[in-house]
């Protein structure tokens, strides 16, 4: 598990520091702070954050709207504009680069937390066809984002050992922690299948690369015995031989 890495673009050092403190208080990580517009694109490429907080007025040189368009050409990540301007002209220009949020300064910690979570949800929805979905989990740029202790955390699918259905909840076990998600195993399965996961049983989804042994009616994975149905066992063996 790793916390979300957020890039801050703000030309006022004091404000940039205040935003960084707020970000860390929310449990996220500051990927970088950029004070000058000329450094934005290179800093973005060097750090590849999970989300960008972009001030619009950056003094001399390109403004935040122009820079947002440039970094989106490098890699599309959630982006939230920060601005003390709420006039129609500025907002109309901002809309042209399709941001995932717009916060009016001054703002407080709760405003920022809500904006970040909505930005991730909105961004994820734009990346996939419209369908029924719960906002507790997102798959963005090959990482699984889950809600844990009132914040979003980032998981590399390779860290997940297995997922277990528990009524309308799902237990996700990683190499270091366990998470209880208020979503079904089917939703998690849809997101993890492309990363080498296999449905062992109606209640279990396993990372095939983590399986240590296949026994008569169970597999050994992550030091635990996880049941495998008779039919799924044969399908699993077929699947492994094709890898």
Is 149 part of a structural domain of the chain?
Answer: no
Mean pLDDT of 51-55: 96
Highest mean pLDDT among 81-85, 119-123, 126-130: 81-85
User: Kind and range of the H or E element at 68?
Assistant: helix 64-74
Following DSSP, what letter does each residue of 110-148 receive, concatenated? Answer: HHHHHHHHHHHHHHHHHTS------TTEEEETTEEEEEE
Q: Tell me, what's the pLDDT at 128?
A: 58
Phi-psi sector, 25: left (phi>0), alpha (psi -120 to 50), beta: alpha
Domain termination site, one of 126, 146, 165: 126
More confident residue, 125 or 176: 176
Is 95 part of a structural domain of the chain?
Answer: yes
Domain count for the chain, please give it. 2
Residue 105 and residue 198 in one domain = no
| Local confidence band at 122 (pLDDT 50, 70, 90 cut-offs) | confident
The 3-state secondary structure of 139-159 reads: EECCEEEEEECCEEEEECHHH
Q: How far apart are CA 31 and CA 24, in angstroms?
A: 11
More confident residue, 66 or 148: 66
Domain termination site, one of 79, 105, 126: 126
Mean pLDDT of 147-175: 86
Q: Tell me, what's the pLDDT at 56?
A: 95
**pLDDT tens digits along 68-118:** 999 988 988 999 999 999 999 999 999 999 999 999 999 999 999 999 988
In this model, does residue 151 exceed pLDDT 90?
no
Q: Tell me, what's the pLDDT at 192?
A: 92
Q: How far apart are CA 223 and CA 211, in angstroms?
A: 9
Residue 36 and residue 122 in one domain = yes
In this model, does residue 19 exceed pLDDT 50?
yes
**pLDDT tens digits along 170-224:** 999 998 888 888 888 888 998 899 999 999 988 999 999 999 999 989 999 988 9
Determine what percent of the chain is predicted with pLDDT higher than 90: 57
Residue 36 and residue 107 in one domain = yes
The range of the structural domain enclosing residue 216 comes to 156-241
């Amino acid at each position: 598990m790793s916390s979300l890495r957020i890039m801050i673009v703000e030309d006022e050092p004091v404000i940039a520091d205040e935003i960084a403190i707020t970000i860390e208080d929310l449990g996220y990580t500051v990927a970088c702070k950029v004070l000058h517009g000329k450094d934005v694109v290179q800093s973005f490429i060097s750090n590849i954050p999970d989300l960008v907080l972009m001030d619009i007025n950056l003094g001399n040189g390109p403004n935040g709207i122009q820079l947002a368009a440039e970094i989106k050409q490098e890699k599309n990540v959630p982006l939230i504009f920060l601005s003390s301007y709420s006039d129609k002209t500025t907002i109309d220009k901002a809309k042209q680069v399709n941001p995932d949020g717009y916060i009016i300064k001054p703002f407080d910690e709760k405003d920022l937390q809500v904006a970040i979570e909505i930005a991730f949800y909105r961004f994820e929805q734009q990346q996939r066809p419209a369908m029924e979905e719960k906002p507790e989990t997102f798959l963005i740029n090959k990482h699984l984002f889950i809600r844990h202790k009132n914040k979003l955390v980032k998981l590399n699918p390779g860290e997940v050992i297995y997922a277990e259905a528990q009524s309308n909840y799902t237990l996700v076990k990683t190499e270091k922690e366990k998470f209880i998600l208020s979503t079904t195993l089917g939703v998690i399965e849809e997101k993890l299948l492309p990363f080498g996961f296999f449905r062992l049983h109606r209640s279990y989804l396993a990372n095939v690369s983590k399986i240590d042994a296949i026994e008569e009616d169970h597999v050994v994975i992550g030091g635990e015995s996880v049941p495998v149905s008779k039919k799924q066992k044969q399908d699993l063996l077929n699947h492994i031989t094709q890898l």
